[in-house]
Structure 1
Amino acid sequence: MTTELFTTANTVTAHEHIGFELGWDYAHYRLVPPAPYAQEPSPLRNGLLAGQAAFGSRTLAATRPVRKWLQLRLHAWLRGRSVELMQVTPNYLSQLEVSHCPITRTALSTATLDSSDASVDRVRNDAGYAAGNLAVISTKANHAKAGYGFHDALRFVKQIEAGKLGGIDGLSACQWSRVAVLCSYVEPMSHEEASTIPMLVLPPNRLRMFNPVQALQAFISQQLMAPGWSHRAARFEAMLPGKPARRAFLTFFHALLPRVLEASRANGKQHTRWAIEDAWRNPLVLKRWTAFARLLTATQCEELVARANAKKLGALRAQQLPDEAATEGWNLDSRGYVPHAVLMKRSPTSARTGLGEQIPQPVGTQASLPL
């Protein structure tokens, strides 16, 4: 067996590799990173210059989603955060766009440097920028949420209410309640605990829900977002296991329904969404939901969502993933940071990057904040 020794000066780390690839992609779309990153010596600049030499004028169109995607990756690279690039693409980011912040409910702006600007948030802070862990919220909500999770947000709500404070970090008790619910979707918890959480914010598009009872809760709530909900609800009721569950479902649904219809009448889709969320603040709605949900097991909730989706009863499509695939690319072991590793040995004959010959092992990529 032969062992080759080489110094770190002749190697490329994961961080350097990602920076080079990012610069290469900037060149591929005929864009330049903002100052000073395009001028200062770095792997990013090396990739940019190599890409410019390779592509020349044969570049791709720099659409708005592409610019967001590159900006996301730049912010992540500067902070050492990982980005999973197989699924987190410009097209994927475009599917996350919303008109209003789900936390503050303010209309989102773009590139105004104001607190209302849209930004991409990692819902679970100990994970990277990966499919299923991203939501678009306002910069204000993103900065306040920071690294806090479900239990932190609940504690803030109690502190605000007990001390009669105006808010914490610029968010009110109602807004922190929405942060708590948003975080709960990606934090595994017992079926009993998850059954007691009101759906104060409907799950954003493409968010992965770790608790089956909340997936069922979202499926039922979102029935009211589209016409034909009465027919779909009746068909869903027929799928429930036994008369007690059907009776409990009807009792719950009849508590939720009038509050939504009254608040959302002729006000448009966004107001209907808010009306559904606000209806969950009513103690009777939550009490009846919990009573219904606890007649089911987590497995039954999962099966109900799958069957209803197969019958196309949902207002939105739900896709179920195996447990091992749910956090693929999240880099939970490194808490969402790029794992420290030497990926390559430099070689003067590298065809594309000049970085050398790649050692076959997984590479964690990365991403960012504002849109």
Structure 2
Amino acid sequence: MSALQPTLRTANVQPAFGLPLPAAAGAPPKAPHCALERTGFDLGRDHARWGLVPPAEHLHPGHPVRAGWAAGRIAFAGRTREATVHVRRWLSLRLAAWLRGQAVDTLQVTPALLRRLHADACPVTGQRLSQDAGADSDAVVVALRPDAALSPGHLVLMSRRAAQAWRQRAADEALAIARRLDEAEPGELVDGLDANAWWRLATLLSFVTPLPQAQAAQLALRAWPTTRLRLLNPVQSLQVLLTLAFTDPDGPPPVQALAAMLPAAVHSEFQVFMHTLLARRVAAGPVDRAGLKRALLVAWGQPLVQRRWTRLALALEASQCEALVEQALRRGLVGGLRSLPKAMATDGWAVEAAAPGATATPGTAEDPAPARLVAIERRRRPRAGEPVTAQAQRALPLA
């Protein structure tokens, strides 16, 4: 956004938002001198564009946000836009990132993106999300990779309670807490979350964290990937795809078609695992898609399901998982996902993400990374009446 050029005469400009213009209205707001100030200036100007007032702590004289807001009030006086809840979240997200020194992909992180992240319930606690109610259930946008720039692929909408409990812990830390709570007394909490909530949070974090194939293969699916979340570990992409195959209440899962794509050496492990999931799907009874998804997540908490999945997953290499997922999506056997090439998997994240299969310890050579990475991104269902292209039809989510 270019710097404001003070060419407008302000004598006839009416005060906006019920607040007086700066005392020195005839003097233009101070222009930013560096990139950090420029970002704060743009944030203040965008608040004014949408008819909003920045938080009070950013309104003292000389503050870049105050300067941009003052300039914006002059530039947009009488022609502000209506601020939706998604615009408010967008501004709050950018302001928090600016205070942390975190970069933002401004071309992709927009109110429109945050609108697509909408959810009715928190993916961690399961509680219904509220909007600006001043409660723990208020919805907030969280970046699951604090080391990365704010960009599509690792942004999630969750409750304030879950976000505060997370405290930017890594996936390994969240997994350790979940395992410890499993062995603790029933009802024990860590930072206000129980064992099930920590398992769900750890699962979401693991999706966007490159892990060694052997480690990712032993993780249970305790949460569904949220809309636009990218799965960086091929074995987890396969895990989600195979489980999604059981969420269609109107038809049988394509077990035989999927089995035909696998190496013959793992057919036995595949059949055992898929029939284990099938038994859980049958036990769920005649429920809708949402009910099936809840029942399958409960099934993933059972040791038998986890053991049989781990046996299958450890028999596959990352490249084999990638190939199976790509073929299944290309043939339309499972919807709700799309594959992304390596160059797009972490596009805009501004991180050197180790490829799945590489160890977390620098300098080691265990599980060398595959030559390429195909990430999986969760897609949303179109709203009622929304036109659907043929390409989008093939990528329709199952919930």
Q: How does the TM-score come out when normalised to structure 1?
A: 0.79
More helix by share: 1
Aligned CA distance change for structure 1 residues 146 and 318 (closer, same or farther; 3 Å) = same
Aligned CA distance change for structure 1 residues 151 and 247 (closer, same or farther; 3 Å) = same
Aligned CA distance change for structure 1 residues 226 and 86 (closer, same or farther; 3 Å) = farther
Q: Offset of 1:123 from its aligned partner?
A: 1.4
Tell me which residue corresponds to 1:90. Answer: 111
Question: For the residues of structure 2 that align with 1:43 and 1:82, how far apart are their CA atoms?
Answer: 17
Tell me which residue corresponds to 1:280. Answer: 300
**1:150–1:180: 8 Å Cα contact kept in structure 2?**
yes
Query: 2:66 pairs with 24, 32, 45, which one?
Result: 45
Query: 2:192 pairs with 170, 173, 176, which one?
Result: 170
Structure 1 segments (4+ residues) deviating >4 Å? none
Tell me which residue corresponds to 1:125. Answer: 146
Aligned CA distance change for structure 1 residues 225 and 60 (closer, same or farther; 3 Å) = farther
Question: For the residues of structure 1 that align with 2:32 and 2:80, how far apart are their CA atoms?
Answer: 30
Query: 2:93 pairs with 69, 72, 77, which one?
Result: 72
Q: Offset of 1:226 from its aligned partner?
A: 3.0
Tell me which residue corresponds to 1:214. Answer: 236
Question: For the residues of structure 1 that align with 2:138 and 2:101, how far apart are their CA atoms?
Answer: 23
Aligned CA distance change for structure 1 residues 277 and 58 (closer, same or farther; 3 Å) = same
Question: For the residues of structure 2 that align with 1:320 and 1:231, how far apart are their CA atoms?
Answer: 24
Tell me which residue corresponds to 2:321. Answer: 301
Task: Give the count of matched residue pairs.
Answer: 322
Is 1:314 matched with 2:334?
A: yes
Matched AA of 2:246: L
Matched AA of 1:67: R
Tell me which residue corresponds to 2:4. Answer: none
Tell me which residue corresponds to 1:189. Answer: 211
3-state SS of 2:107 partner:
coil
Matched AA of 1:281: G
Tell me which residue corresponds to 1:28. Answer: 49
Question: For the residues of structure 2 that align with 1:236 and 1:159, how far apart are their CA atoms?
Answer: 36
Tell me which residue corresponds to 2:121. Answer: 100
Question: For the residues of structure 2 that align with 1:236 and 1:276, how far apart are their CA atoms?
Answer: 19
Q: Offset of 1:114 from its aligned partner?
A: 1.2
Q: Percent identity?
A: 37
Tell me which residue corresponds to 1:199. Answer: 221
Structure 2 unmatched runs, 5+:
1-29, 353-399
Report 1 or 2 for greater relative contact order, CA contacts < 8 Å, sequence distance ≥ 6.
1
**1:99–1:108: 8 Å Cα contact kept in structure 2?**
yes
Q: Offset of 1:228 from its aligned partner?
A: 5.0
Query: Could you report, residue by residue, the CA deviation over 1:20-59 in whole angstroms, capped at 9, with x for unpaired residues?
Result: 1112222333333243535654211222222233333344
Q: How does the TM-score come out when normalised to structure 2?
A: 0.74
Is 1:113 matched with 2:143?
A: no
Aligned CA distance change for structure 1 residues 163 and 288 (closer, same or farther; 3 Å) = closer
The root-mean-square deviation of aligned C-alpha atoms, in Å, is: 2.5
Question: For the residues of structure 2 that align with 1:14 and 1:120, how far apart are their CA atoms?
Answer: 24
The more displaced of 9-18 and 137-146 is 9-18
Query: 1:327 pairs with 336, 340, 346, which one?
Result: 346
Q: Offset of 1:10 from its aligned partner?
A: 9.4
Matched AA of 1:142: A
Structure 1 unmatched runs, 5+:
1-8, 334-371
**1:31–1:62: 8 Å Cα contact kept in structure 2?**
yes
Matched AA of 2:99: L
Query: Could you report, residue by residue, the CA deviation over 1:177-206 in whole angstroms, capped at 9, with x for unpaired residues?
Result: 222222111221121211111001111111
**1:264–1:271: 8 Å Cα contact kept in structure 2?**
no
Query: 2:281 pairs with 240, 260, 279, which one?
Result: 260
